[in-house]
Every structure is written in structure tokens, then in C-alpha cells.
Structure 1
Amino acid sequence: MATSGQASGGRRDARLTEQGIYTAALRLIDADGVGALSMRKLAAVLGVNPMSLYHHVPNKAALLRGVKNLIAAQFRPRVDGGIWQEQLYRFARDFRALAHQHPNLIVHSLASPDFIEPEDPFWTGLTGILTRAGVPATEVAAVGAVLTSLFSGFLLAEGNGTLGRLAVLQPTPTAGPATASSADAGGDRNFTFAVQTLIAGIEAHLPR
């Protein structure tokens, strides 16, 4: 009899590799959200017995961690070349693009305190940029933590619709209605402004 994770004849079932399980789970999350993900539904998508999944992933929390790690491994920021300000902009732009590919997972993950790990490409890339910018070594982690919090807040507001809703509000009761071009709801203008604000904050913090 074939064991769990193996097809008949001793061949390992490709569907029950970590890559196969987490990739299928990510497709479900992209389509229906994190709340709709279950071990039973994932097993149905993979075409396997639900109990066989537990030999590879003990519970939904572990499954979500694996999917998060899968996405983290896909993030390869292009930070070489140019001044540090340009590197930071490209870094933020690339992570935002990844977030837009998987908004359901990102919005959920941003609420988790361990979403960013020290060994993740996000953290190593960001702290590398800050080091090249001239942030003192004793302050790189603190500055990186603040930037991560601010950028995460932007992505969360963008992902859950808060940014787009606020961007079209009238600034005063007497002002005319905001237009899509002036408010740039859902566009890149707000993102550029956010990154420029972060860069200005770092520049003001650098030793003179």
C-alpha cells in the first residue's frame, strides 16, 4: 500500500510536496480569501484524502505560515545600482507589486506580528538600504521597524479600501468634489507620495 505522500509504486505524489500544498493553498486564498481556506477544501483541490494533509501540515495556522514563507521567498527586490533613495523606491515598488498579486494574503498577514522575519528578503533588503544610506548601525533596526510599520499601514489601507475611500473625500465642506485625477484613488500617486515622505524622514534623521 502506498504511504501518505506517495503514489502507487513508491513514487512520491507531487501534489503532497510542500511546494504543491502551499501553492494550491495560495490559489484558494487568492480566489476566495483566507477565511474560506480549510484543510478539507484544500484536500479537495489537490484530489487527496483530507487526513493525508495532516502528515505534512498539522493545522491551518501552519499552512498559512507556509504560504507566507512561499510568498516571502518570491520577493527579490532589485536594489543594486543608483543612490539609496532610488533603491528604496524600487524596493517599496516591488513589494507593493507582490502585495497586489496576492491582496487577500497580504491584508491578512499584515495583522500578524511575525509577518516580517529577520531572515526574510524584505528585512535584509530594507536594512541593507538603510546601511548604505548612512543610518548608524545602532539605529538601523529601529529605523527599519518604523519604516516597515508605516509601509505596512499603507498597504493595509490600500488593500482594504480605506485609502481609496479617503482619497476622494472633500477636504472642506465648501470645496468642490474631488475628482479621480486629483485624488488619484487607487492609483500610483499616493504610493509615490508615501515613499517620498519616508525618504524625507530618513534624510532628516541621518547624521550631519
Structure 2
Amino acid sequence: MNGTRDGPPGEGPRTRNSLLTRAAVLAAALEIIDEDGVDRLSMRRLGEVLGRDPMALYRHATNKAAVLDGVTEIVLDQLTVDTSDPDWRHQLRLIARDFRRLAVDHPNVVPLLVTHPLATPLGLRPVGTLRPLEHILSLLTKADFTGADALRTYRALFGFLYGHVLTELQEIVERPEESTDLLRLGLYRLPIGEFPLLRSLASDLAAYDGVDELERGLDILLTGLTTAMPPPRKNP
């Protein structure tokens, strides 16, 4: 990715003759975040990458916060929800897989997808970030869920997904050069008398498989939702 930024002094990969659009600004911001993280994004850095005076960027984003909101929107815009799918369980499983894929593809964006929305009231969030919610509500109400039950189902699904991606992407290996999982994960630090079970699960912890764990969790979640909140049958 670094090689794409070479060029004449003062110009980035997008030359000054190229059209500066909001889409171009957000795409460049996503590249920076993917490569270096959210903290390394600034309007000045963005201007350098785009080969533009940072002041020109304010026509497309009023500040860094607006850029971050826009990045969240373009990532979530890749989350596909087929509201016409007659099998809501199947569709929720596809949505979950899609969300995990986005998180794995853009791990530095995960805080914007998971923790930032939780601190922002719904009415103040960018409308693009609310479309998955609206589409999932549409999917479920078409399957005869009440609006309230559809909302509960959405919360249950994304509560699980948020926890899953945070668990999958966290660094758990302390000493990768060690030969045993107990040492690699640093579990040898735990007193044997207090944490016998946790220490005994070192190999299971080290063998974490994000895809398998997602599917197992979805099996449990969807089975529970089907049992607890079955949608009423339509009258013939």
C-alpha cells in the first residue's frame, strides 16, 4: 500500500487535476485507517494523501469526526440485507457472516462500528449507519414479527456480533516463540490453585477459530430466538 503514495513532491496518489469528491475523501481516509489506525488520521494527513490543501477537504467533511462518520457509512454500506428473503433465520446468518467479514477486512475500523455507536444516540448517528437496522426491521416484520420483537432480535444479533468481533480480533498471544500454549498465552502467570480450569483450557483458547465460533454462536442465538419469540402464523 505504501508504494501507491510515491510521486512528485507535494502530490499524493490522487493528483491535483483529479476531481475531489466526498467519495474520494472517504476512500482515502479508509486507506489511512486500514494502514495506520484511527488515531493517525488527520485532515492534514488526508490532504497529503489526496495531494490537496487540507482546507479544500472541508467542503466535503466539516471536521475529522465527520470523516469518521463517513468512513463508518461506506463500510456499513457493504453490509447486504435481503429484505425479501422468506427465511429470516438464513438471512440473519448471512448478515452476521457479512459483518464479521467487514470487521476482519477492516480491523482498525471496528471501534467505529462497535464502540462509537454505543455512545451516540440513534437520532444523532449518520443515516447511512442506520440503514442496516431499518432493513433488518423490515426483514423481520415481513416475517410477522412485531416491531418490538424485531428490535429485540436486532439487538440480540448485534450484541452477539459486537462481542464476537472484539473477541476474535483481540491479541491473546503474549509469547509467540514459546512451544506450549500455556506459555504462549501467558497463562502460566495465573495461580494454579485459583485458576485450574482456565489454565487447563490453554489449548482450546489458542485454537480459537473465528468462523467456527461465529457459526456455533449463531446456532445458539437463532435457536433461542426461534423458541422465545416465534413469529405468529399468518391467517390463511
Q: Does 1:196 align with 2:206?
A: no
2:79–2:99 Cα contact (<8 Å) kept: yes
1:76–1:121 Cα contact (<8 Å) kept: no
| Matching residue's letter, 1:143 | T
2:73–2:126 Cα contact (<8 Å) kept: no
1:39–1:53 Cα contact (<8 Å) kept: yes
Question: What is aligned with 1:141?
Answer: 151
Q: Does 1:178 align with 2:188?
A: no
2:81–2:95 Cα contact (<8 Å) kept: yes
**CA positional deviation for 1:101:** 1.3
CA distance in 2, matches of 1:133, 1:105: 32
Deviations 1:121-176 (A, max 9, x none): 421332234335543333222332232222222222222346xx9xx879716847
Question: What is aligned with 1:86?
Answer: 90
Question: What is aligned with 1:127?
Answer: 137
1:68–1:109 Cα contact (<8 Å) kept: yes
The count of corresponding residues between Structure 1 and Structure 2 is: 192
CA spacing shift, 1:135–1:84, aligned 2, 3 Å: same
Deviations 1:147-206 (A, max 9, x none): 2222222222222346xx9xx8797168475257xx641431111111112102211222
Deviates more, 1:127-136 or 1:141-150: 127-136
CA spacing shift, 1:171–1:30, aligned 2, 3 Å: farther
The aligned runs of 1:5-84 (5 Å cut-off) are 13-14=18-19, 16-78=20-82, 81=85, 83-84=87-88
**CA positional deviation for 1:27:** 0.4
Q: CA RMSD in A?
A: 3.2
2:83–2:138 Cα contact (<8 Å) kept: no
CA spacing shift, 1:139–1:46, aligned 2, 3 Å: same
Q: Whose radius of gyration is greater, 1 or 2?
A: 2
Q: Does 1:102 align with 2:118?
A: no
Deviations 1:7-63 (A, max 9, x none): 99xx8x42x200100000000000001011111111000011122212322211011
Provide the secondary structure at the position in 2 that maps to 1:178.
helix
CA spacing shift, 1:161–1:205, aligned 2, 3 Å: farther
Q: Could you list the runs of 5+ residues in structure 1 that have no partner in the other structure?
A: 1-6
2:86–2:143 Cα contact (<8 Å) kept: no
CA spacing shift, 1:198–1:58, aligned 2, 3 Å: same
CA distance in 1, matches of 2:128, 2:57: 29
2:26–2:67 Cα contact (<8 Å) kept: yes
Q: Could you list the runs of 5+ residues in structure 2 that have no partner in the other structure?
A: 1-14, 173-180, 188-194
CA spacing shift, 1:144–1:81, aligned 2, 3 Å: closer
**CA positional deviation for 1:78:** 4.9
